[in-house]
Structure 1
Amino acid sequence: MTDRLSIALAQINPTVGAIAANIDRIRDARAEAAARGADLMVCPELSVTGYPPEDLVLKPFFLDVVERAVRELAAETADGGPALLVGAPWRDGDKRHNAALLLDGGAVAAIRFKVDLPNYGVFDEKRLFDPGPLPGPINVRGVRLGVPICEDMWSVDVIETLAESGAEILVVPNGSPFELGKHDQRVQLAVRRVTESGLPLLYVNQVGGQDELVFDGASFALGADCRLVAQAPAFTEHLLITRWERGDDDVWSCADTECVAPPEGLESIYAALVLALRDYVTKNGFPGVILGLSGGIDSALSAAIAVDALGADRVHGVMMPSPHTAQDSLDDAAESAELLGCKLDTVPIVPAMEAFERMLLPAFAGRDPDATEENIQARSRGVTLMALSNKFGPMVLSTGNKSEMSVGYATLYGDMCGGYAVLKDVYKTTVYALARWRNAHQTEGALGPAGRVVPERVLVKAPTAELKPGQTDQDTLPPYDALDDILRCLVEKDLGVAEIVARGHAPEVVDKVWRMLHLAEYKRRQAPPGPKITPRLFNRERRYPITNGFGGIA
Structure 2
Amino acid sequence: MTAQPPVPDSFFSIHRHGFARIAVATPSARNGDPAGNGRAIEAQAREASQRDVDVVVFPELSLTGYANDDLHLQEATLLATLAGIESIRAASEDLKPVLLIGAALSRNGRLYNCAVAIHRGRILGVVPKIYLPNYREYYEKRWFASGDGTDGLTIEIGGETVPFGPDLLFAASDRPGFVVHIEICEDYWAPFPPSIDGALAGATVLCNLSASNITIGKSHDRHLLSASQSMRCLGVYAYSAAGHGESTTDLAWDGQGEIYELGDLLAESERFSRGGELLIADVDCNRVLQERMRMPTFNDAAARRGHPETRFRRIAFEQGLASGDIGFHRPIRRFPFVPNTPERLDQDCYEAFNIQVDALVTRFEATPGDTMVIGISGGLDSTHALIVAAKACDRMGVSRKNILGFTMPGFATGDATKSNAWKLMEAMGISAAEIDIRPAARQMLSDMGHPFADGEPVYDITFENVQAGLRTDYLFRLANQRNGFVIGTGDLSELALGWCTYGVGDQMSHYAVNSGVPKTLIQYLIRWCVTSGQFDETTDAVLTAILDTEISPELVPADAQGGLQSTEEKIGPYELNDFFLFHILRYGFAPSKVAFLAHQAWRDKTTGRWPIGFPDAKKREYDLDTITFWLEKFLFRFFQTSQFKRSAIPNGPKVSAGGSLSPRGDWRAPSDSSAAAWIKELRAAMGRG
Letter of the aligned partner of 2:660 in structure 1? L
Superposition deviation, residue 362 in structure 1: 7.2
- For structure 2, the 5+ residue unaligned runs are 1-195, 198-223, 234-343, 395-399, 558-563, 600-623, 682-689
**1:474 maps onto 2:564 in alignment:** no
Cross-structure match for 1:523 = 645
Cross-structure match for 2:530 = 439
Residue from 384, 391, 407 that aligns with 1:301: 384
1:410-429 to 2 correspondences below 5 Å: 410-412=500-502, 413-429=504-520
Cross-structure match for 1:355 = 443
In 2, Cα distance between the equivalents of 1:290 and 1:359? Answer: 29
Any conservation in 2 of the 1:464–1:471 contact (CA below 8 Å)? yes
Superposition deviation, residue 549 in structure 1: 3.7
Report the CA distance shift for 1:297/1:192 in structure 2 as closer, same or farther (over 3 A). Answer: closer
In 1, Cα distance between the equivalents of 2:530 and 2:545? Answer: 13
TM-score normalised by structure 2 residue count: 0.41
**1:508 maps onto 2:629 in alignment:** yes
In 2, Cα distance between the equivalents of 1:391 and 1:188? Answer: 53
Any conservation in 2 of the 1:321–1:347 contact (CA below 8 Å)? yes
Residue from 405, 409, 416 that aligns with 2:495: 405
Residue from 327, 339, 343 that aligns with 2:431: 343
In 1, Cα distance between the equivalents of 2:571 and 2:642? Answer: 14
After superposition, the C-alpha distances for 1:336-359 in whole angstroms (9 at most, x for unaligned) are 112211111000100121111111
In 2, Cα distance between the equivalents of 1:466 and 1:480? Answer: 17
Q: Secondary structure at the match of 1:274?
A: helix
In 2, Cα distance between the equivalents of 1:322 and 1:451? Answer: 27
In 2, Cα distance between the equivalents of 1:369 and 1:438? Answer: 37
In 1, Cα distance between the equivalents of 2:647 and 2:408? Answer: 26
Superposition deviation, residue 494 in structure 1: 1.0
Cross-structure match for 2:406 = 318
Cross-structure match for 2:359 = 276
Cross-structure match for 1:548 = 673
Any conservation in 2 of the 1:407–1:516 contact (CA below 8 Å)? yes
1:137-152 to 2 correspondences below 5 Å: none
Any conservation in 2 of the 1:511–1:552 contact (CA below 8 Å)? no
**1:532 maps onto 2:654 in alignment:** yes
**1:327 maps onto 2:415 in alignment:** yes
Cross-structure match for 2:586 = 492
Report the CA distance shift for 1:365/1:381 in structure 2 as closer, same or farther (over 3 A). Answer: closer
Cross-structure match for 1:465 = 553
Report the CA distance shift for 1:482/1:550 in structure 2 as closer, same or farther (over 3 A). Answer: closer
In 1, Cα distance between the equivalents of 2:595 and 2:352? Answer: 29
Superposition deviation, residue 383 in structure 1: 0.3
Superposition deviation, residue 263 in structure 1: 6.4
Letter of the aligned partner of 1:460 in structure 2? D
Any conservation in 2 of the 1:381–1:414 contact (CA below 8 Å)? yes
Q: Secondary structure at the match of 2:677?
A: coil
Any conservation in 1 of the 2:571–2:633 contact (CA below 8 Å)? no
In 1, Cα distance between the equivalents of 2:382 and 2:450? Answer: 36
In 1, Cα distance between the equivalents of 2:445 and 2:451? Answer: 10
- For structure 1, the 5+ residue unaligned runs are 1-155, 158-183, 194-260
1:17-166 to 2 correspondences below 5 Å: none
Q: Secondary structure at the match of 2:508?
A: coil
Cross-structure match for 1:456 = 544
**1:265 maps onto 2:348 in alignment:** yes
Any conservation in 1 of the 2:445–2:452 contact (CA below 8 Å)? no
Report the CA distance shift for 1:450/1:395 in structure 2 as closer, same or farther (over 3 A). Answer: farther
Superposition deviation, residue 550 in structure 1: 5.0
Superposition deviation, residue 284 in structure 1: 2.5
Superposition deviation, residue 546 in structure 1: 0.7
After superposition, the C-alpha distances for 1:111-137 in whole angstroms (9 at most, x for unaligned) are xxxxxxxxxxxxxxxxxxxxxxxxxxx
Q: Secondary structure at the match of 2:676?
A: coil
Residue from 382, 391, 395 that aligns with 2:485: 395
Cross-structure match for 1:165 = none
Superposition deviation, residue 416 in structure 1: 2.0
Q: Secondary structure at the match of 1:455?
A: helix
Cross-structure match for 1:251 = none
Any conservation in 2 of the 1:422–1:531 contact (CA below 8 Å)? yes
Report the CA distance shift for 1:325/1:363 in structure 2 as closer, same or farther (over 3 A). Answer: closer
The total of aligned residue pairs comes to 302
Cross-structure match for 2:521 = 430
Superposition deviation, residue 451 in structure 1: 7.3
In 2, Cα distance between the equivalents of 1:451 and 1:188? Answer: 44
Report the CA distance shift for 1:365/1:419 in structure 2 as closer, same or farther (over 3 A). Answer: closer
Letter of the aligned partner of 2:494 in structure 1? E
* Percent identity between the two aligned chains: 24
In 2, Cα distance between the equivalents of 1:495 and 1:480? Answer: 19
Superposition deviation, residue 449 in structure 1: 5.5
- State which drifts further: 461-470 or 529-538: 529-538
In 1, Cα distance between the equivalents of 2:524 and 2:518? Answer: 10
In 2, Cα distance between the equivalents of 1:278 and 1:287? Answer: 12
Superposition deviation, residue 268 in structure 1: 1.1
Report the CA distance shift for 1:188/1:273 in structure 2 as closer, same or farther (over 3 A). Answer: farther
| Aligned residues: CA RMSD | 3.2
After superposition, the C-alpha distances for 1:289-348 in whole angstroms (9 at most, x for unaligned) are 111000111111110010001241221110000121111111100111122111110001
After superposition, the C-alpha distances for 1:58-89 in whole angstroms (9 at most, x for unaligned) are xxxxxxxxxxxxxxxxxxxxxxxxxxxxxxxx
In 2, Cα distance between the equivalents of 1:375 and 1:365? Answer: 15
Report the CA distance shift for 1:394/1:266 in structure 2 as closer, same or farther (over 3 A). Answer: same
In 2, Cα distance between the equivalents of 1:289 and 1:525? Answer: 24
